[in-house]
């Protein structure tokens, strides 16, 4: 990969961090932020569990707590959690630029996608919040980055790295384990024509990431009911998988979840109003990006970018909270990528397409030809 995209990504990340970190301690901490701070301090005192009990049936995933503890050790004080989120928010912007550049081959289109994410109200808000809302996003973006590299070269290293980052994401947020499982199924479907041995190895890597959680529940079985028992699969459903299928396909439950899922994508909430989580300017670009994914490019790109954007909010629909963006914040970078693809579609309408490959290591969406998707031994 050439140095210029990396330098540009670093510059964008630096600008984002300056914006997001400005006056982080201006507002008082919320109770949720205070809980992460408290447990971050407990790590500094020597207690290092995998899951952290807040009260009654409320537990925290470890990623944000450990990041909070690290920021406290660096002198972050009460704003430690917020600073950790701001760093991850700036990393999201850099990764969106790199992925969009890999897809489109144009640095200015990639910059538009990254800047749109930088200015997205919901992303800005979560990046200044000392909770775990933004923590799954960079791990999912790393999964997507390595997966795109795998589809280009069939590298076992790239596929294993994608599996590792997606596996690690299960410790970032209560909605993340289900999201990671759905995204890995998407990965297997999209890569089904590739080398099966490499897919098997990567699946083992993905499965290995769940072992710390399994060991924790083996040592502390009483914690399962209020953690994975609420976030992933009820303990009773593990004992009786048929009950799981019955509960999942229950018309009332399924209807409620579909209603929540549709409510999440309601354009009147997403784009309009003073508290809209997305920029209004992003709406036509997302629509153009979806059109390009469906009509103009080969199968991996829509399966990964568009499919990922549709899958990430699925887990949050099971939490029973309307407009659950805090449980699906990882969708924001994927929507920014769709915006970048939408810009490419508009350019293709106005001018003749550029050469298939602009920069070393860059893939235009038009370059995903039959050779790219052919199965390899």
pLDDT band at 266 (very low <50, low <70, confident <90, very high): very high
Question: For the chain, which residues make up each domain, given as ranges?
Answer: 3-373
Q: What is the pLDDT of residues 83-132, one digit of tens each?
A: 999 999 999 999 999 999 999 989 999 999 999 999 999 999 999 999 99
CB distance 325 to 277 below 8 Å = yes
**Any idea which residue has 């970018």 for tokens?**
305
Quick check: helix, strand or coil at residue 158? helix
Quick one: which of 293, 287, 278, 272 has its CA closest to 339?
A: 287
The model carries a pTM of 0.91
Q: Show Cβ contacts of residue 187 under 8 Å, excluding neighbours closer than 6 positions.
A: 143, 147, 162, 163, 166, 202
- Classify burial at 305, counting beta carbons within 10 Å of its beta carbon; exposed 0-12, middle 13-18, buried 19 or more: buried
Q: What is the pLDDT of residues 199-257, one digit of tens each?
A: 999 999 999 999 999 999 999 999 999 999 999 988 887 878 787 778 777 888 888 89
Mean model confidence pLDDT for the chain: 89
**Any idea which residue has 């992925």 for tokens?**
99
- In degrees rounded to 5, what are phi and psi of residue 52? -120, 125
């Amino acid at each position: 990969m050439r140095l210029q995209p990396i330098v540009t990504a670093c510059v964008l990340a630096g600008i984002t961090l300056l914006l997001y970190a400005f006056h982080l301690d201006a507002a008082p901490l919320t109770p949720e932020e205070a809980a992460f701070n408290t447990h971050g301090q407990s790590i500094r005192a020597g207690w290092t569990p995998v899951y952290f009990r807040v009260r009654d049936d409320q537990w925290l995933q470890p990623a944000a707590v450990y990041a909070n503890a690290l920021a406290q050790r660096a002198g972050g004080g009460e704003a430690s959690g917020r600073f950790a989120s701001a760093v991850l928010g700036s990393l999201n912007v850099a990764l969106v630029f790199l992925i969009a550049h890999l897809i489109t081959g144009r640095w200015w289109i990639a910059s538009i996608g990254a800047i749109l994410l930088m200015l997205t109200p919901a992303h800005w808000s979560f990046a200044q919040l000392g909770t775990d809302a933004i923590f799954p996003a960079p791990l999912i973006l790393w999964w997507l980055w390595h997966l795109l590299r795998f589809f280009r070269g069939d590298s076992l290293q790239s596929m294993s790295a994608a599996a590792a980052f997606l596996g690690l994401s299960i410790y970032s947020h209560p909605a993340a384990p289900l999201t990671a499982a759905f995204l890995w199924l998407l990965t297997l479907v999209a890569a089904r024509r590739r080398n099966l041995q490499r897919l098997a190895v990567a699946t083992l890597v993905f499965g290995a990431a769940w072992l710390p959680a399994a060991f924790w529940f083996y040592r502390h079985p009483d914690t399962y009911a209020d953690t994975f028992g609420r976030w992933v699969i009820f303990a009773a459903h593990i004992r009786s998988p048929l009950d799981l299928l019955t509960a999942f396909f229950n018309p009332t439950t399924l209807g409620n979840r579909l209603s929540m899922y549709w409510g999440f994508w309601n354009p009147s909430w997403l784009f309009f109003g003073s508290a809209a989580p997305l920029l209004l300017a992003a709406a036509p670009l997302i629509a153009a990006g979806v059109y390009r994914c469906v009509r103009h490019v080969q199968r991996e790109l829509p399966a990964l970018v568009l499919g990922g954007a549709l899958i990430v909010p699925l887990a949050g629909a099971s939490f029973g909270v309307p407009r659950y963006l805090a449980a699906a914040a990882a969708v924001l970078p994927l929507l920014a990528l769709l915006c970048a693809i939408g810009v490419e579609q508009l350019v293709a309408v106005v001018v003749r397409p550029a050469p298939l490959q602009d920069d070393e290591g860059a893939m235009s969406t038009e370059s995903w030809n039959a050779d790219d998707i052919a199965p390899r031994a």
